């Protein structure tokens, strides 16, 4: 390709391409205001996280401003930063990718800050409140725990011999999966707004899996932003390709008459299509365990499936911490047996509380956060976890005083499975790569 004689003009051609592509999509940044001329080089403001359709005026102004940038002699980096400032560096690309999934909604919130998702949840999701610690208290509806009997794996030739079929991994035919997928997409298309979260399953760059969550609830988005490994802007632009997509339409039930369904709830995964569809349950833990299901399938085949088992990766349902001599302790156990509590040791650094991969070079955490049970919690017994319940954390199905918003962790009138999801960085002695 011939190189443009002027670096800013080369960047401008890219900007025009984005603007032309966006014309059919008609996106605009929510609450964006026209930028007064003359423009100054950008100061690095954060890109907007809400993208709307239908404002041609702002796009036209953007193109005009970028044309002016050529005359002002801005560097390509300055032009790129300005584009990011106006519409978000991935805004147009995300819209294109979402449209390719047959989703077409008025507004998209993409990797939004906790404050934005708090605001959305408080506005649109009944039963949501900010409790006295600053955490967001939410309700998951009828389902307050996972539904393992409603989990299905699509039977596909490519993966048939790699799945241990039985009561845990129950088969589903592709026709039923696509029926559920269409039902989920149809429901999501009835929403005025959707929330999209991009992140990774796994901290190790050689093993991690890109994951995209598309959901109708801000609570789900904040939960998964806490639980997935957070990507950098550079990683999103350069490394985030062919993500595993989770369609969370859990507010809407599946059709019981669809072959393979045993209730109004369905959690189904297709490894070939790299997709998961959730219907009939709003419990956020289904997404978390969905990512673990994906990693349980992919990790034993890495780095190469023809290697001996000892040279491949082993996914573990376990917590882990590390001592001052880099000695790693692994705590195995089913959900609710104490993995989170045991690994939160003030004398050792936390690696993770639930899901890990062990390979030839060591152990890495699959998740970017922790998901702890809160029943009977006190600061005296579990200080690290108790103090992590603050702004940015998600409290599920807890009971709190309506006047003071103080949480009663002993109240199990909604469920005994009360939980909190928080990012690893909320634990002071967490070992974060």
How do residues 20-36 score in pLDDT, each as one tens digit?
333 333 333 333 333 33
Is residue 184 within 8 Å of residue 279, measured between CB atoms?
Answer: yes
Q: Note down pLDDT in tens along the chain; length 433 residues.
A: 333 333 333 223 222 233 333 333 333 333 333 333 333 333 333 445 677 765 444 555 555 555 565 555 666 566 555 545 544 556 666 767 777 777 888 899 999 999 999 999 999 999 999 999 999 999 999 999 999 999 999 999 999 999 999 999 999 999 999 999 999 999 999 999 999 999 999 999 999 999 999 999 999 999 999 999 999 999 999 999 999 999 999 999 999 999 999 999 999 999 999 999 999 999 999 999 999 999 999 999 999 999 999 999 999 999 999 999 999 999 999 888 899 999 989 899 999 999 999 999 999 999 999 999 999 999 999 999 999 999 999 999 999 999 999 999 999 999 999 999 999 999 999 999 9
Biggest CA–CA distance in the chain, Å, is: 70
Just list the catalytic residues: 146, 289, 317, 335, 339-340, 354, 419
Q: What is the Cα–Cα distance from 358 to 318, expressed in whole angstroms?
A: 11
The angle subtended at Cα 43 by Cα 42 and Cα 45, nearest 5°, is: 100
pTM summary value: 0.82
């Amino acid at each position: 390709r011939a190189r443009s004689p002027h670096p800013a003009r080369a960047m401008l051609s890219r900007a025009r391409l984005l603007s032309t592509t966006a014309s059919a999509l008609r996106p605009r940044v929510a609450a964006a205001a026209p930028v007064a001329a003359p423009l100054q080089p950008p100061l690095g403001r954060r890109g907007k996280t809400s993208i709307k359709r239908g404002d041609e005026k702002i796009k036209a102004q953007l193109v005009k401003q970028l044309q002016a940038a050529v005359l002002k002699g801005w560097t390509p980096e300055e032009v790129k930063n300005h584009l990011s400032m106006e519409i978000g560096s991935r805004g147009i690309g995300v819209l294109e990718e979402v449209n390719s999934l047959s989703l077409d909604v008025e507004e998209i919130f993409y990797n939004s800050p906790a404050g934005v998702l708090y605001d959305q949840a408080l506005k649109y999701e009944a039963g949501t409140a900010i409790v006295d610690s600053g955490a967001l208290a939410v309700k998951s509806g009828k389902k307050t725990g996972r539904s393992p009997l409603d989990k299905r794996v699509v039977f596909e030739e490519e993966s048939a011999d790699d799945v241990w079929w039985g009561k845990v991994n129950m088969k589903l035919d592709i026709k039923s999966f696509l029926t559920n997928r269409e039902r989920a997409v149809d429901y999501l298309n009835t929403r005025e707004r959707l929330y999209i979260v991009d992140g990774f399953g796994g901290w190790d760059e050689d093993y991690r899996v890109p994951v995209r969550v598309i959901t109708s609830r801000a609570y789900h988005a904040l939960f998964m932003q806490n639980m997935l490994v957070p990507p950098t802007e550079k990683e999103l632009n350069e490394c985030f390709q062919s993500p595993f997509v989770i369609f969370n339409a859990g507010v809407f039930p599946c059709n019981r008459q669809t072959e393979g369904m045993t209730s109004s709830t369905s959690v189904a995964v297709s490894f070939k299509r790299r997709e998961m569809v959730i219907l009939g349950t709003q419990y956020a833990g289904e997404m978390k365990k969905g990512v673990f299901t994906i990693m349980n399938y992919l990790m034993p085949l890495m780095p190469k499936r023809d290697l001996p088992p000892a040279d491949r990766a082993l996914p573990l349902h376990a917590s882990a911490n590390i001592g001052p001599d880099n000695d790693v302790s692994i705590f195995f156990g089913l959900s609710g047996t104490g993995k989170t509590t045991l690994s939160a040791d003030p004398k050792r650094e936390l690696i993770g509380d639930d899901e890990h991969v062990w390979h030839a070079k060591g152990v890495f955490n699959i998740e970017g956060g922790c998901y702890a049970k809160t029943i009977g919690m006190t600061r005296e017994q579990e200080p690290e976890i108790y103090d992590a319940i603050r702004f940015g954390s998600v409290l599920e199905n807890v009971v709190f005083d309506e006047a003071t918003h103080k949480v009663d962790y002993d109240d199990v009138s909604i469920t005994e499975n009360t939980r909190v999801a928080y990012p690893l960085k909320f634990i002071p002695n967490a070992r974060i790569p």
